[in-house]
Structure 1
Amino acid sequence: MLDAAADLLVRWGYQRVTVEDVARHAGIGKGTVYLHFRTKDALFLTVLLRSHHHVVARMADRMAADPAEVLPSRMTASVYRDLADDAVVRPLYLGDPEVLGRLAHEAAETLGELGGKRDVASRRLFGLLRDAGALRTDLPIEEQEYVLRAVATGFLFVDSLSTPEVPVDRDRRAELIAHSIAAAIEEPGAAAQAGAVAPQAVAMFRELAADMDAEWRRRVRR
């Protein structure tokens, strides 16, 4: 059901999709959808929550496999690849009105608390990296976070324009993101300090992923 809703959300946009469309696409009756979700909004907000959870869970897994993934440059480049491949969560990060319609506002409110937890985890990670000597200290943490968001969002926005200047290869675009962020806020040789920070970072983001998982599952009526 959620997979069907996600597929139609991307293909048609929230405004055009009906609960009947989702039921037909999933091969079930409309009543079955309403058995689990009270409204269309509840269904699609759950779709977005589940996709957001997948992004954070993969982030934690990468950190566990390779400590250098805790660095803002590597972490952002990897998330960029996720968003390039995930047509559901990408419009959520961009606030794309064509796909999300009025759901964009609902999603922002619904994800507010979880987004706050994500921001706390990010701020704590930046602090740990600065203490370890992996990040520069010539800017406050909040300004370094702003730089990171501005670079990542800027790349996603330019991608959405489909201009001839955009490099075709997704991985090359990810490398450019990593290069830009590393040059802006990281110390040379930052990867050598990442190992000391990785265990705490993995624990933080796995806790956040667990909270997101619990939230989207809570919204499905059994």
Structure 2
Amino acid sequence: MKVLVVGANGQIGQHIVKQLKNSDEHTVRAMVRKEEQAEELKKKGIDAVIANLEGSKKSLVKAAKGCDAVIFTAGSGGSTGADKTLLVDLDGAVKTIEAAEEAGADRFVIVSALQANNRGNWSEKIRHYYAAKHYADRMLEASNLNYTIVRPGGLLNEAGTGKVQIAENLDERGSVPREDVASTVVASLSEECTYKRAFDLVSGDTFIADALKSLS
């Protein structure tokens, strides 16, 4: 399927774009905010489109036109305030969900946060971040899209192991390499066990493909 990656220049997004480019099953369109980012991607033979999550929904519809699926892995980043988190992680996600529906992209995978579904487990320090993820996820669940919500634990920059632990609810805190998050997201695209499902994700002892199938 043709996949639009929203947040393609982010740390997880870059892994996703690379994996999709090397895939025999999918093709990729990378959405970025800046012309120079798009030019760099095009030099690598990657279809790139410029749009801003704080801009109009119309521009997001245009970016998603012709795509079968959307992966949302954008975020305002840890150095911004709560206002940016609401504009990007919440409203940006919701606009992208609406744009995907309007553009005719049926499949939607979103990168959320571990236990975002469970208010009792939110970190007080970044409660606004969890709230943004929580309500973006709920809007996705209420949409007409064939969704998957991936809720990773603490994000690491070390190399992926290809092995994870997945469950609809993981009580214990944990971490996971960004590369493994990307691999899980890409594998979820065509794994029917993940359709209309949400799950927590941390490092573990099970190969990603097998872990996803365990959701059935």
Query: Higher helix fraction: Structure 1 or Structure 2?
Result: 1
Larger-gyration structure (1/2): 1
**Structures share fold, TM-score greater than 0.5:** no
Q: Which structure is richer in relative contact order (CA contacts within 8 A, separation 6 or more)?
A: 1
